[in-house]
Amino acid sequence: MDMDYRGGSSWKQILSQSITTPDALPTSIEIDRAPLQKVVARYSMRLNPYYLSLIKEKDDPIYKQCVPDLREILNDAGFDDPLNEEGCSPVPGLTHRYPDRVLFLISSCCAMYCRFCNRKRKVGRSSMVTRSSIREGLAYIRGHREIRDVLLSGGDPLLLEIRELFHILRDLRSMTHVEIIRIGTRVPCTLPQRITPQLARMLGSFQPLYINTHFNHPDEITPESSLACNRLADAGIPLGCQTVLLKGVNDDSEIIRTLMQKLLTIRVRPYYLFQADPARGTAHFWTPLNRGLEIMASLQGHTSGLCVPHFAVDLLGGGGKIPLLPEYVVERDGDVLVLRNYLGKEYRHPVLD
């Protein structure tokens, strides 16, 4: 779409020009806007001019991620809190599911509201994260010395003011048991202008700090997003990517391979490829589990191991993430395992047990 967001615009200016109602979609998109009003009454809409500019045509992989769709309210399949994040929350906005790490939500807003978001019932609502939920979360982490890894998420943590983020990071760093800090953010992809030299410098002063960003399609890798990722990497921050497998967007071996290869060129190491969570309002994005396994089989061995993420399913009901692998073991035959290589050829390998 032809949108003029450039001309030295700051990220705040770009964000302030976001479309938040279907009526405001560009006239070049032919779509019945009135019924979509009901969709955004339930699930927030925000489409900033940068991300909008990546749409080439209606229904393309960028469009599907950001433009509201009637199926969000017509198809009722799924769950409001599929991962039972609230059931594992000792304080609001903090999920302590695993022994040594917590998920800590510190922002309610995102630079763009992804239509497939598994927290879509909450993002964009000011009640999601409050000053007091942040205070309580920090107090919980301070009181639990088994927590050595804090994963900041939201919403998008990088939409906070630098000063607010600095205070949270400084507080976490003052806790000697917190060894590493992680930030989950889609900003390098959806609003790369947010990654200013000042922000990168501030984040870089809290090492060891890891950032996991979130790209879903090769068309999201642009000169702008490349600059943002390089800036973070230059500040010494290791970058990972958490991609979600989405029907009609990237459920295709070639698209995923290209995406993973391109991510490495902007210094982002693929971390997870997620099966989409069964969150209500997202059923039109779900793919069969087998699709993910086929895609993994098409990566492993066919391209560098660095391009191969873990294919993970976050178990319904809050069991946590588990990796799934294509089957490489054919059978055991006495002292040997019969194994299949990436080309499907069988090899006999000693078990040695």
Ligand X SMILES: *Cc1c(COP(=O)(O)O)cnc(C)c1O
- Chain residues binding ligand X by CB under 6 A are 95, 97-98, 101, 103, 151, 321
Closest CA to 332 of 313, 315, 349: 349
CA-closest candidate to residue 275, choices 259, 260, 290: 290
Is 151 or 260 the residue whose CB approaches ligand X more closely?
A: 151
Interface pick for ligand SF4 out of 15, 83, 106, 123 (rule CB under 6 A) = 123
- Which partner from the list ligand SF4, ligand X, none does 98 bind, CB cut-off 5 to 8 Å by kind? ligand X
Dihedral over alpha carbons 24, 27, 31, 34 (to 10 degrees):
40
- String marking each residue 61-100 x if it binds ligand SF4 according to CB under 6 A: ----------------------------------------
**Among ligand X, ligand SF4, none, what does residue 101 contact (CB within 5–8 Å per kind)?**
ligand X
114 interacts with, out of ligand X, ligand SF4, none, CB within 5 to 8 A per kind: ligand SF4
Q: Does 159 bind ligand SF4 (CB under 6 A)?
A: no
Q: What is the DSSP letter of 247?
A: T
- Residue with smaller CB distance to ligand SF4, 140 or 215: 215
* Closer residue to ligand X, CB minimum distance, 44 or 118: 118
For residue 240, give the nearest of 294, 193, 189, 197 by alpha carbon. 189
113 binds ligand SF4, rule: CB under 6 A? yes
Site membership for ligand SF4, residue 186 (CB under 6 A): yes
Of 48 and 258, CB closest to ligand SF4: 48
Query: For residues 166 and 194, is the Cβ–Cβ distance under 8 A?
Result: no
**Min separation Cβ 117 and ligand X, Å:** 14
Which region, judged by CB under 6 A, interacts with ligand SF4, from 72-80, 89-97, 116-124, 286-294?
Answer: 116-124
Q: Which does 94 bind (CB under 5 to 8 A by kind): ligand X, ligand SF4, none?
A: none
User: CB–CB of 310/271 below 8 Å?
Assistant: yes
Active site residues: 97-98, 101, 110, 114, 117, 119, 277, 314, 321
User: Which amino acid is it at 46?
Assistant: R
Query: Binds 110, which of ligand SF4, ligand X, none (CB < 5 to 8 A, cut-off by type)?
Result: ligand SF4
Least distance (Å) from ligand X to the CB of residue 98? Answer: 6
Long-range contacts of 317-321 (CB under 8 A, 24+ apart): 317/82, 317/83, 317/84, 318/83, 318/84, 318/85, 318/87, 318/88, 318/97, 320/97, 320/98, 321/272
* Burial class for 214, CB neighbours closer than 10 Å (0-12, 13-18, 19+): buried
For residue 166, the minimal CB distance to ligand X (Å) is 23
| Range 19-28 burial, b when 16+ CB lie within 10 A, else e | beebeebeee
CB 103, min distance to ligand X, A:
4
Vertex 13 angle, CA 9 and 19, to 5°? 120
Q: Give how many residues touch ligand SF4 by CB under 6 A.
A: 10
Edge-to-edge strand list for the sheet holding 336-340 = 329-333, 336-340, 346-350
From 172, 158, 167, 147, select the one nearest 112 (Cα to Cα).
158
Q: Which residues bind ligand SF4 (CB under 6 A)?
A: 110, 113-114, 117, 119, 123, 154-156, 186
